[in-house]
Chains A and B, each alone.
Chain A
Amino acid sequence: MENVLDDHQLLDRIKEGDAEAFRILFERHWEGLYAFAWKRLKSRQDAEDVVQHVFMKIWEHRSARNIQLSIQAYLYRSVYYEVIAALKNIAGGSEEISSVTEYTLPVFSSVLEKLSLADLNELINKEVSNLPERMQQIYKLSREEDYSVKAIAEELNLSEQTVKNQLTMALSRLRKPVFESVLLLLIKDLMFP
């Protein structure tokens, strides 16, 4: 079963309460997700919590879950938001964190806060420019023109399913899928149309 079933088939089994399918899904994806969270949280404990939380939700809501697009993209999107929630909780914690906070926090600001919106756009666009052309096009329509998946499909004269498939295909062709998944996450609506 490890190698035979794809993510969607695993998910179908998970829906039926198949714990073995759940374990395989976990084995397949936990490491990339953990690394993703660790890089942003710089804490083993918090990164573990985030990964746990994401898989926990999959199991708990297994019967209600209906995932259209790539499971990988779905997982990264979930971890993405869990990481931000964890950052929010850590930074907002009541613990006295000594002068380190006062001294080091201005840093987040000094790098990012001082960049203008134009600079930040440039920064993100630079990453986007490494994506395949079609994906860039979809990204730009979604992000800059505020198009929904449906509108993108109409604009590019494609079916909605094709827009989604293009994204998944592009994703799998990329050298560093994890990194690009992050970009995919920036695209509104695509995971949960």
Chain B
Amino acid sequence: MNKDQLSALFGRFLREEASPHEKKMVEAYMLLSESEEAEFSDREKQETKERIWSVLNPYSGERRSNNVWYANRSWWLRTAAVWVMLVGITAAGFLFRYDIMDRLFPIAWNQDITGPYEIKRVVLPDGTVVNLAPNSTISYPARYRGHARKARLSGIAFFSVVSNEKQPFTVASGNLDIRVLGTSFEVRNVPLLHDVGVTVATGKVQVRCGDRMQAVLTANQEVRYNDTVGQFSVMEKVDAAAETAWTRNVLVFRETGLEEVLKALEDRYGMKISIHPNAIKKGATFSGAFKSHESGKEILDVVCFSSGLKYTITRDNIAVITK
């Protein structure tokens, strides 16, 4: 749109010839600009009032006709007015247009959380795949808009970021900001350990802490940041493939109590499992990792077989565990 078109738009609005969309644009502009700050000092107010009134006052001889007011205006005043108006709209509108839109139409953030044994595959709105380790939380907008793709992580996750140079992908985790254009990497941020680590599998990743510290990592490099010490340490030649092997699993148990294992299966696969009293020996545990192609029933088979248990499926689809 240029200024002539803008002028034409206002003209159509006044002649009631504007399209519904154009009408709404003007109405929205008139509404939005109400929130502009307009503070005038008492002196300014007094002067302004007097200037306006001097022309209006029915008793003063100075009154001129409408046409004269407009003709009297020096061209540079008008120019300045346009300039000021445009700069005003620019400042509020152009530079911060996505912020304005975020304020007007905020995008909801989604959250995915993993249980203590569970590994989840989360697909972000841009197609970026996140493998979320147990006890981790990732938050991200329901859709991406503007210049940035953002996500927040607490815990451990492996990111395979879809490449988009115009829209860098940023993960905020602990004190670190991890910024990438398209690559894959792992972030480990376990709050209790005061230690955040980033391991890069492919591509290039920029890791920042505040404004001062930053590191640029390439494949098989790892950076660790210790919260308490406040220091970066970069490690070379990490076996990223081995470090991130966990991402192919969906459930991982390490000497986990059997009841907990069964509970995790219920949560993950929506199964209903009922345990016959005394079926499970006190202190019985299970260790093992399951991959994503295995079904809940297959995993239950393995857990029961290795623990010397049996199960039957009732008509209501409940798996009853017995000795």
Binding site for B on A (CB under 8 A): 19, 22-23, 26-27, 30-31, 34-36, 38-46, 48-49, 51-53, 55-56, 59, 80-81, 83-85, 87-93, 95, 97, 100-113, 115-117, 119-124, 126-127, 178-179, 182-183, 185-186
Whether the Cβ atoms of A106 and B58 lie closer than 8 Å is: no
Give chain B residues whose Cβ lies under 8 Å from the Cβ of A43. Answer: 80-81, 84-85
Could you pull out 6 A-B pairs where Cβ atoms are within 8 angstroms?
A22-B58, A46-B81, A84-B10, A87-B6, A112-B28, A126-B104
Q: Mark B67-108, 1 if CB is under 8 A from A, else 0.
A: 001100101011111111111111001100100110011000
Q: Which of B2, B40, B75 contacts A105 (CB 8 A)?
A: B2
Q: Does B48 contact A (CB under 8 A)?
A: yes
When distances are taken between beta carbons in the complex, the residues of chain B under 8 Å from A103 are 90
Enumerate chain A residues within 8 angstroms of B20, measured Cβ to Cβ.
117
Is the beta-carbon distance between A100 and B83 smaller than 8 angstroms?
yes
> Given the complex, which residues of B lie within 8 Å of A89, measured CB to CB?
7, 70
Nearest chain A CB to B133 CB, angstrom units: 38
Chain A residues near B89 (CB, 8 Å)?
Answer: 42, 104, 107-108, 111
A36, closest chain B residue (CB): B34
Complex alpha-carbon distance, A164 and B231, angstroms: 68
Chain A residues lying within 8 Å of B2, measured Cβ to Cβ, are 101-102, 105
* Cβ distance B48 to chain A, nearest Cβ, rounded Å: 6
| B242 CB–A CB distance under 8 Å | no
Given contacts A49-B70, A115-B28, whether A88 and B3 have CB atoms under 8 Å apart is no
* Of A36, A89, A95, A107, most B-chain CB atoms within 10 Å: A107
Contacts of A56 in B (CB 8 A): 55-56, 66
Give complex CA distance A36, B24 in Å: 19
Contact A123 B25, beta carbon cutoff 8 Å: no
**B27 → A minimal CB distance (Å):** 6
- For the complex, give the distance between the alpha carbons of A102 and B6 in Å: 12
The reply to whether B13 and A182 form a contact with Cβ atoms under 8 Å apart is no
CB-CB < 8 A to A26: which residues of B? 52-53, 56
CB distance from B80 to the nearest CB of A (A): 8
Size of B's binding interface in residues, CB under 8 A: 64
B93 touches A101 (CB 8 A): no
CB distance from B103 to the nearest CB of A (A): 11
- Most B-side CB within 10 Å, residue of A39, A41, A80, A183: A39
Residue of A nearest to B85 (CB): A42
B82: contacting residue among A27, A51, A101, A106, CB under 8 A: A101
**B81 contact from A90, A106, A120, Cβ within 8 A:** A90
Q: Could you tell me if A93 and B78 are in contact, using CB atoms closer than 8 angstroms?
A: yes
A56 CB to closest chain B CB (Å) equals 6
A39 touches B34 (CB 8 A): yes
A28 to B34, CA, bound (A): 20
> Does B237 make an interface contact (CB < 8 A)?
no
Q: Assuming the A-B contacts A53-B66, A84-B13, A85-B14, are A104 and B48 also in contact, with contact meaning beta carbons closer than 8 angstroms in the complex?
A: no
Q: A39-B38, A111-B97 are in contact. Are A48 and B28 (CB under 8 A)?
A: no
* Cβ–Cβ < 8 Å partners of A42 in chain B: 36, 81, 84-85, 88-89
A34 touching B52 in the complex, CB below 8 Å, given contacts A42-B81, A107-B93: yes
Measured between alpha carbons, how far is A41 from B13 in the docked complex, in Å?
17
Q: Verify A104–B7 contact, CB threshold 8 A.
A: no
Would you call A91 and B33 a contact (CB within 8 A)? no
A109 touching B1, Cβ below 8 Å? yes
Q: Does B51 contact A (CB under 8 A)?
A: yes
Beyond A31-B49, A87-B10, A104-B94, whether A124 also contacts B1 by CB under 8 A is no
Residues in A whose Cβ lies below 8 Å from that of B80 = 43
Tell me which residues from 1 to 58 in chain B have a Cβ below 8 Å from any Cβ of chain A. 1-4, 6-8, 10-11, 13-14, 20-21, 24-34, 36, 38, 40, 45, 48-49, 51-53, 55-58
* Interface status of B59 (Cβ within 8 A of chain A): yes
What distance in Å separates the Cβ of B51 from its nearest Cβ neighbour in chain A?
6
Query: Which chain B residue lies CB-closest to A109?
Result: B1
- Once the chains bind, are B49 and A85 in contact (CB under 8 Å)? no
A179 — which chain B residues lie within 8 A by C-beta?
34
A58's nearest neighbour on chain B, judged by CB, is B56
Q: Within 8 Å CB of B93, what residues of A?
A: 107-108, 110-111
Judging by beta carbons under 8 Å apart, are A104 and B86 in contact?
yes
Candidates B10, B31, B34; contact of A91 at CB < 8 Å: B10
Q: Are A124 and B14 in contact (CB under 8 A)?
A: no
Given A52-B56, A55-B56, A105-B1, A186 and B27 contact (CB-CB distance below 8 Å): yes
- Assembly CA distance A185 to B23 (angstroms): 13
Complex CA gap A20/B55 in Å reads 15
Closest 5 CB pairs of A and B: A92-B7, A43-B81, A88-B10, A120-B24, A91-B7
